[in-house]
Amino acid sequence: MRTSTFIILLLSGFALSGNIQAQKYATKTGSIRFYSEAPAENIEAFNKQVNSALDTQTGDFVFRVLMKGFQFEKALMQEHFNENYVESHKFPNASFAGKITNADAVDFTKNGTYEVTVAGKLTIKGVTKDVSEKGTFEVKDGAINGKSNFNIKLADYGVEIPKTVMKNIAETVEINVDVTLAALNN
């Protein structure tokens, strides 16, 4: 499913669940960074093609990222990432669907920074795992900035690292999510 189709379906689902008011927020320009620190070299990539949506009334929070959107310092790293590791031709997107478990601790109508825990299902390379991660939501002048830093084990998502490059790629990578969501209006 194309990313734009996913967001349209998601937003349509929000619309069916009630009137779209200030409790629905979305972005198409979120950012995800991953970082691998290994003895031989560090690998870092950024992706600014992240779609995300939040329903502040229910606490539902989703995102979808185009795997080919990750940009690397070296073109060869990007090629290996897409062809060998995440097989983006077969698995073009990674996604998350979950809920803010402590949504009642966040006043989405008042400027401030709130610590949250988001739990749900993270899917990478066709493998879905339950995750629960801490992060923050900063409410500022009608927008919501969500941030989280966490680690994932590549093997948990079927990403195999050949023995010949074990010193080049860490088994666990750091993921940084940064999305600024704007209110959806009628």
Domain ranges for the chain: 3-183
Pairwise CA distance, residues 125 & 146, whole Å = 24
CATH no. of 3-183: 2.40.128.110
Distance CA 10, CA 59 (A): 14
**Which tens digits make up the pLDDT trace of 135-156?**
999 999 999 999 999 999 999 9
**Phi and psi at residue 58, to the nearest 5°:** -100, -20
pLDDT in tens, 148-178: 999 999 999 999 887 887 778 889 999 999 9
Note whether 156 and 129 are within 8 A (CB).
Answer: yes
> What pTM was estimated for this model as a whole?
0.84
Residue 168 sits at φ, ψ, to 5 deg, of -95, -25
Quickly state the pLDDT bin for 181 (edges 50, 70, 90): very high
**Average pLDDT of 65-89?**
93
